[in-house]
Amino acid sequence: MAKSEAAALRKLPSVDEVLRTAVAADAASRFGRSALVTAVRETLAAARANGAAPGGSDHVAAAALTRLEIAQRPNLRPVFNLTGTVLHTNLGRALWAEAAIEAAQVAMRNAVALEFDLGAGHRGDRDDLIRDLLCDLTGAEDATVVNNNAAAVLLVLNTLAKGREAIVSRGELIEIGGAFRMPEIMSRAGAKLVEVGTTNRTHKKDYVGALGPRTGLILKVHTSNYRIEGFTKEVSARDLAAIAHERKVPLVNDLGSGTLIDLARYGLAHEPTVREAVAAGADLVTFSGDKLLGGPQAGFIVGRKDLIARIKNNPMKRALRIDKIRLAALEATLRLYRDPDRVAERLPTLRLLARPKKDIEAAARRLLPVIAAKIGDGFDVAVAPCASQIGSGALPMETVPSAGLAIRPRAAKRSGRIVAALSMAFRRLPVPVVGRIDDQALIFDLRCLDDEEAFVANLAALAIAENADAMA
């Protein structure tokens, strides 16, 4: 050890000296004395290990406070979603409407009549809270709700096709992501998968030929995240319903996202609504709560009363049920659909999807100079057209014209690594900014940026190396 280093270490304050500072008193009141003592010890140990002079006791106290603040930061933190995907599964999908947030808070703070019939004074059913709303909005006879749509599909298969056959087109045997693969879910539900048709073409006669005494149901799956184009054929839900009903077999339609209103209202392509699926003759329809519907994570099953009754009697229903907080939020979210003219103002998902491109472009022009000044001469920043995606499997091939900023390193050399480092610097901000990298540029699609002021304030902490090249 060099002499000067040894001298610096001797000058390290003691734990007690640090604890006597004003900063430490403040830290103790915020985080508790024992956590502070640990943080001071760790700070001193780190200084010793680095051989660096940490300065006096005030300096050590401040470093310990920073340590505590970082440790205190929640793991689940808000981020700016500038990926261009509005319903991003990895970023938590739909943002709740204010009415849903308020309803959830009331449910969290209070005892609520969750499964209690206030009129009769005895036990009730939690599905009663949203059944009428769901039936009104979808035209279905009855409805129930579980943890998510994956659970809804699992529960339907297990109830109607356990030990029996479930007929699905080969073109619809999808993987949604993670481990949710239709064949896997089938086998876990105890149903025997009977594949019909080919990847690109399935005909009525394929279904008819597969029907037999062991058939439990026919399943139609919305091919959420891909589309087969070219020489294709699928059997419409209406035709499939006719085939199923002739043999007294239920038709289940897994819509995936599902929507309660026609998105064409907002200039988007038509996504089949739940009402249409019910009207087309599906005996049960399943869909998500936190995709286009814009509410909390949930899975709905709507349709025939006798089938819903069987589903509710399945012991698995109890294992897959949702809690009071989400039920409160769902009820409030569904109520917003009773006023279709204002639902797009009130529901963040629809508001963001309907946001006009010219507004987003204007935001991009305002933010361009701010970001350019912040990241320095090493980069070109330009307003760029973007194509936002809805995400979570809704209208997979459909994009919504949007705008954003494209940031490119000026130097051609190692530009891929420089862009990756820049992207990381944005993700390290107090409120991480998540964009996407495309063709060696960092792209921020601004469709989902609501609070520009907060975004700009957050940039104060951006740490970019003087020389952009040094970042790589």
Residues forming the site for ligand PLP (CB under 6 A): 148-150, 153, 176, 180, 221-222, 224, 254, 256-257, 288, 299, 392-393
CA distances from 352 to 101, 270, 355 (A): 18, 17, 5
Query: Could you tell me the smallest distance in angstroms from the CB atom of residue 90 to ligand PLP?
Result: 12
Query: What six digits make up the tokens of 134?
Result: 């769901």
215/257 with CB nearer ligand PLP: 257
Query: What six digits make up the tokens of 296?
Result: 């909390």
Cα 443 from chain centre: 20
Label the pairing between strands 441-445 and 165-169: unpaired
Cβ–Cβ under 8 Å, residues 418 and 471: yes
Report d(CA 419, CA 421) in Å as an integer.
5
93/335 with CB nearer ligand PLP: 93
Label the pairing between strands 215-221 and 165-169: parallel
Query: Could you tell me the smallest distance in angstroms from the CB atom of residue 327 to ligand PLP?
Result: 16
Query: Could you tell me the smallest distance in angstroms from the CB atom of residue 392 to ligand PLP?
Result: 6
Q: N- to C-terminal Cα distance for the chain? A: 32
44/237 with CB nearer ligand PLP: 237
Backbone angles phi, psi at 12, to 5 degrees: -60, 135
Strand order of the sheet with strand 436-438? 379-389, 399-409, 441-445, 436-438
94/381 with CB nearer ligand PLP: 94
115/398 with CB nearer ligand PLP: 398
Residues 6+ positions from 210 with CB-CB distance below 8 Å: 165, 167, 194, 196
Query: What six digits make up the tokens of 324?
Result: 């009071």
Query: Could you tell me the smallest distance in angstroms from the CB atom of residue 317 to ligand PLP?
Result: 16
Helix (H, G, I), strand (E, B) or coil at 74: coil
Query: Could you tell me the smallest distance in angstroms from the CB atom of residue 324 to ligand PLP?
Result: 19
43/85 with CB nearer ligand PLP: 85
131/222 with CB nearer ligand PLP: 222
Query: Could you tell me the smallest distance in angstroms from the CB atom of residue 236 to ligand PLP?
Result: 17
Helical H runs in 355-435? 357-375, 415-427
272/348 with CB nearer ligand PLP: 272
Query: Could you tell me the smallest distance in angstroms from the CB atom of residue 294 to ligand PLP?
Result: 13
Cβ–Cβ under 8 Å, residues 82 and 54: no
In sequence order, what E strands does 147-276 have? 165-169, 175-177, 180-181, 192-196, 215-221, 251-256
Q: Measured at CB, which residue is nearest to ligand PLP?
A: 256
Cβ–Cβ under 8 Å, residues 201 and 232: yes
Query: Could you tell me the smallest distance in angstroms from the CB atom of residue 153 to ligand PLP?
Result: 6
Query: Could you tell me the smallest distance in angstroms from the CB atom of residue 293 to ligand PLP?
Result: 10
35/316 with CB nearer ligand PLP: 316
174/383 with CB nearer ligand PLP: 174
Cβ–Cβ under 8 Å, residues 404 and 445: yes
DSSP 85: B
Report d(CA 21, CA 14) in Å as an integer.
12
174/367 with CB nearer ligand PLP: 174
Query: Could you tell me the smallest distance in angstroms from the CB atom of residue 358 to ligand PLP?
Result: 31
- How many Cα neighbours within 13 Å face the side chain of 169? 26
Of the candidates 468, 127, 160, which has an alpha carbon nearest to the alpha carbon of residue 324? 127
Query: Could you tell me the smallest distance in angstroms from the CB atom of residue 450 to ligand PLP?
Result: 24
Query: Could you tell me the smallest distance in angstroms from the CB atom of residue 215 to ligand PLP?
Result: 21
83/149 with CB nearer ligand PLP: 149
Q: Find the angle CA(102)-CA(106)-CA(112) to the nearest 5 degrees.
A: 140
Query: Residue type for 144, please?
Result: T
Residue bearing tokens 């991003």: 88
